[in-house]
Amino acid sequence: MTRYRVRQVSGNIAKDRRDDLATEEPLEIRVLAGGVSRTVAITMRTPGADFELAAGFLHGEGLVRPGEIQAIGYCTDDDVPPEARYNTVSVRLPHLPEVPHLERHFMTSSACGVCGSASLDALKDRCVPLVTSAVKVHPEILYGLPATLHDAQGVFARTGGLHAAGLFTPDGVLIQSREDVGRHNAVDKLVGWALLHDRLPLTGQLLLVSGRASYEIGQKALAAGLELLCAVSAPSSLAVDLAREFGMTLVGFLRNERFNVYAGPERIL
């Protein structure tokens, strides 16, 4: 968090006070193999869980698989000034990924994220498997997820400016959560946590995001083996297409004990 002095105005009264804001800084993600280092992404994020963010991003884009990360840490390359080293993460792999979009740099923002695979056909080309698990969830369990995730958002409680992603069991038990100024970053941090702790795939578990469900979030969830994606806000049309094409369950507007099921209703009891 970053503290600022602000002027608060209410009616005809103004007063100066301190305000805690969610910190937003750039993070450069590099891959290293055979002595060659390449930048694959620069994203705006909330500092914290940077290694998880880098790992989750690379996994979601199909650039690493479980067990392939040999080392991960803040970059100490000569071209990185000391003041920028905690904003640069280097991931050592056995070989540089041979994919076309590695030849250009991703530039992402905390608002929209990056869509490395811009179509459903591209996902199929990556051989992302169809979801086939038979997990079932009762509506009463879904109703309780937003409150549980909200209670786990410690930084949000102080700033009001962060998104969150939560990983749950089908019984509604929170396994892990992450916060960030970007929805996609929160998901990457969560998936990166699972990747670095040898917990992938996340088959049979649920993902809840605090904002809308976009295509990119659906892509990351699919790559992690998640078959049930919930959002407190609306999904995008392409997110619905992705869920229906790959056999995922997609729930939107999950709040106030109501929700819409846009794909995979068979998993909702």
pTM comes to 0.87
Share of the chain above pLDDT 90, in %: 64
Q: What is the pLDDT of residues 36-61, one digit of tens each?
A: 999 999 999 999 999 999 999 999 98
Alpha-carbon span 114 to 81, nearest angstrom: 26
Q: Is the pLDDT of residue 117 over 70?
A: no
Q: Check 75, 112, 127, 230 and give the catalytic one.
A: 112
Amino acid letter, 127: C
Q: What is the pLDDT of residues 142-199, one digit of tens each?
A: 999 999 999 887 654 454 558 899 999 999 999 999 999 988 999 999 999 999 999 9
**Mean model confidence pLDDT for the chain:** 87
Q: What is the pLDDT of residues 72-87, one digit of tens each?
A: 999 988 888 888 889 9
Alpha-carbon span 190 to 194, nearest angstrom: 6
Burial readout 74-98 (b: 16 or more C-beta within 10 A, e: otherwise): ebeeeebeeeeeebbbbbbbeebbe
127 is catalytic: no
Q: What is the pLDDT of residues 213-248, one digit of tens each?
A: 999 999 999 999 999 999 999 999 999 999 999 999
Alpha-carbon span 63 to 219, nearest angstrom: 13
Which of 133, 139, 160 is CA-nearest to residue 246?
133
- Residue with tokens 């086939």, as numbered in its chain: 132
Q: At 17, give phi and psi (nearest 5°).
A: -155, 175
Give the pLDDT score at 102.
47
Q: Which pLDDT band, with edges at 50, 70 and 90, does 107 fall under?
A: low
Alpha-carbon span 257 to 239, nearest angstrom: 22
